[in-house]
Amino acid sequence: MGDLDMQEKDTDKLLHSLKKAENFQTALSETRDYTLDNVLKDYLNRWLIEKNITKSAVLKKAGIAEATGYQYFDGKRNPSREKIIALTIGLELTLEETNELMKKTGYAQLYPKLPWDAVVIFGISHRLSITEIDDYLYHEGLKTFGE
């Protein structure tokens, strides 16, 4: 994932560019490639290559409809936190990889003191499928991925 890290622009530099830009179009063009939705798109597509898996397979494992899921991979639609976590399960990322993706894309990392997050942490750590994690969530009276 090192290539992507090199492409990321420091948040302070982005802030400086926005403050110093002479007009909105200049500011927008200088920062567009570094917005969170583009970072997410880049990360998702790099993980596809690294894990040698297809978008279709990831979306099936994540329980996400292909029409919606392809928009996430293309950067045309921004997924919710729960959908990103579902995508990480579909990509079979480790807990550490999942939290790194969450951090890099501006979403809250999984937090073990939150009941929903605790179930998901258990599921990811034990390599459970989205359906198996949903079963645990349902039995705990928590929102499932499918809701």
Residue 102 lies in a domain: yes
Q: Report the C-alpha gap between 18 and 147 in whole angstroms.
A: 38
Please report, for the domain that includes residue 76, its CATH number: 1.10.260
> Minimum mean pLDDT among 18-22, 69-73, 101-105: which range?
18-22
Domain that holds residue 48: 35-139
pLDDT of residue 5: 45
Q: Report the C-alpha gap between 26 and 33 in whole angstroms.
A: 13
Percent of the chain with pLDDT over 70: 83
Q: Report the C-alpha gap between 134 and 55 in whole angstroms.
A: 21
| This prediction's pTM | 0.77
DSSP structural state of residue 106: T
Q: How many domains does the chain have?
A: 1
**Residues contacting residue 94 through CB under 8 Å, at least 6 positions apart:** 124
Question: Per-residue pLDDT averaged across 64-68, rounded?
Answer: 96
pLDDT per residue over 21-46, tens digit each? 777 777 666 665 555 557 788 889 99
DSSP structural state of residue 10: P
pLDDT at 7 over 50: no
